[in-house]
Structure 1
Amino acid sequence: MAKPQLPAGYTARPFDPSADLPAVLDLLTACERHLHGDAAVEADAGEFAAVLARPGFDPAADTLLVHGPDGGPVAWAWSDRRCECRVHPAHRGRRIGTALLGWMESRAVEQGVGKLVQVVADLDATGLAMLRTYGYRPKGASWLLEIALDGLPADGELPPGPAGVTIRPFRAGDARDEHQAHRVVEDAFADWKARRMDFAEWAEHAVHRENFAPERSPLAVSDTDGRVVGVALALDQPGSGDGYVESLAVDRDHRHRGIARHLLQHTFRACRDAGLSHCTLWTHSGTGALDLYLKVGMTVRYTSVVLEKSLPG
């Protein structure tokens, strides 16, 4: 396929997972700090592992890494039913993002993708304007929520949980816990996710990541049959004072019983006991979960806009 039309002095090649990861993590962190300042979190290698684990993903065809005149990486993009593009703040305004957008759309059409989704921070006015110009329209929103852990109640036992359910920590490396957590999460989000992840792909995104924190990841287990009916899966974020909840999910038949709230309370306390100052999580407008998080005392740290464009058949 054709390469993007980049400014003079800029070149593009596929991402090399064995050599390029540290430089791209630095690039993504610089982009986040430009937008969010002190609230930014360093880019996580686990996110790359999750992208690379996508079924059929081919870095040689589905990624591009742009280098500037000095030879350093200045932009990164990938496209595989979803897509992502980031341009270093010092190299914006040179139509690099526009060129990569054209490449991502062309690649998506080659793959038979009918609609392409982009997620852009609401503070990125330039990025939002560019996407609107090229036919993307808002579809929803995502929010990063936070709670200050020093505001939690003093040490002591949590209030009793829902009857018939026991809350216990995730057992690290336990295949039964891993597979039951996969079932609960994928079933819970099946109504609004574009596709269901198989276990191997999901595990790379969640419980097999290097920064998975099982001690902060409670499970809700049915007292009747030992079946896992709810999960809160947490990640460590090295270099940050934040804990992070990657997934919160409850079986459909056990919702509206306070299980999700109880799982969060356990995770918040575990993060506080680990010396962290905040706990964060992302939620999407399609899940309808924002009210739950606000009721447990979380507030919005920042917002992203979800945009969508229909592509040629």
Structure 2
Amino acid sequence: MSDLSPQWLPMGYRTRSATIADAREIHRLVTACEHELHARATTGVDGIAADLRPSGLELQVDTVLISDSSGELAGWGWVRGRRSTVDVHPDHRGRGLGRSLLAWAEARARHVGSDRLAQTVSDSDEATIALLRSSGYSPLVTEWLLEIEMPIEPVVPAPPEGVTVRPFRSGDGPAAHQLTEDAFDEWQQRRKSYEEWARHTVERATFEPAASPLAFAGDQLVGAVLSLDVPGNDEGYVERVAVRSDHRNRGIARMLLQEAFRAFYLQGKRTCTLWTHSATGALSLYERIGMTVQRSSTVYSKTLTTT
């Protein structure tokens, strides 16, 4: 069971480990935080469920839920290797829960031998940023949420010579996994197994094949855009963009993005969003096709010393 020592908790709170069955309750907490910070929610419950199933995460010891005396979920966190996530419900902030969860996360990371710990925080979450900085964390990289408005049907450029395009089909998963993981090898910490990758993309209930175009050179997959259609959200969302290294700078990413935007437009959506990471160097590409930054987050990192 997750060990969040009682001395770290304010009076009236108790803890336990998370289970897959907690995904909806955790989702309510996460979206409450998003509404508080951004006046809108963007996380789907299937995304929370995927977070609870990655390889290397043992729910009994790598997750913790904090509930108040009425049983309401007040906070939660998980740790896997060098990464962690901590959220506190807006109604329970200012009571030391964030500091308690941070101390738990660091202790758990040290226990499994990690020498660093990082977590992503919205740049508008001033209280959490202050807590992290006062605890020895420093900025590592930036992430941006970009948006494009689509008042008229997007125009899709013709594919480069020798390249064909079609929507994602059943059976395309392994090739798309290989392509995207190869592309992200340049900056990600580790490769995901197919099973873990698929849980966050093509096996999600919100995966939208019609807005997930693939580019082929002959029978070889050379580019992919994988998209989600989150219930209760009037926007399209692009989850992955990747082009094989030997086919970059040919306009394939731009073409596939425009194809995804058009697919969402034809479904009645008039905006589309995606996240990008400063380590990918892709921000300028998205800005050139008309996307604008809506908000940003920062990954904060800390070197863990032995205690």
TM-score > 0.5, shorter chain as reference? yes
State the match for 1:178 in structure 2: 173
1:259 matched residue in structure 2: 252
Give the structure 2 partner of residue 166 of structure 1.
164
Match of 1:35 among 37, 40, 44: 37
Quote how far apart the aligned CAs of 1:105 are: 0.6
Gaps of 5+ in 2: none
Q: Any idea what the Cα deviations from partners look like across 1:167-222, whole Å, max 9, x if unmatched?
A: 11101x22xx1111001100001011000001111111111111110010000000
Alignment partners' CA distance in 1, 2:248 and 2:157:
18
Retained in 2: the 8 A contact 1:49–1:205? no
**Residue number in structure 2 paired with 1:279:** 272
Residue 25 (structure 2) aligns with: 23
Question: Which of 190, 197, 201 does residue 202 from structure 1 map onto?
Answer: 197
The residue type equivalent to 2:127 in the other structure is T
Query: Which structure 1 residue ranges, 5 or more long, are not aligned?
Result: none
1:214-267 alpha-carbon deviations (Å, 9 max, x no partner):
0100000003xx110000000011101111100000000000100000000000
1:113-192 to structure 2, matched below 5 A, reads 113-153=114-154, 158-171=156-169, 173-174=170-171, 177-192=172-187
More off after superposition, 65-74 vs 97-106: 65-74
Contact 1:166 1:221 in 2 (8 A): yes
Post-superposition CA distance 1:246-298 (Å, at most 9, x none): 00000000001000000000000001001112110000100000000000000
Give the C-alpha shift of residue 152 in structure 1.
4.5
- CA deviation map 1:116-172 (0-9, x unaligned): 11110010000000000011000111001000121544xxx733211111111101x
Separation of aligned partners in 2, 1:202 and 1:301: 26
Q: Identity over the aligned pairs, expressed in percent?
A: 45
Distance 2:123 2:261 in 1: 27
The DSSP-based 3-state class of the residue aligned with 2:32 is helix
The CA deviation at 1:16 is 2.2
Matches within 5 A, 1:234-273: 234-273=227-266
Q: TM-score, normalised by structure 1?
A: 0.93
Q: CA deviation at 1:311?
A: 1.1
Would the aligned equivalents of 2:20 and 2:49 in 1 still touch at CA under 8 Å? no
Post-superposition offset of 1:2:
4.1
How far did residue 310 of structure 1 move? 1.0
**Deviation at 1:49?**
3.1
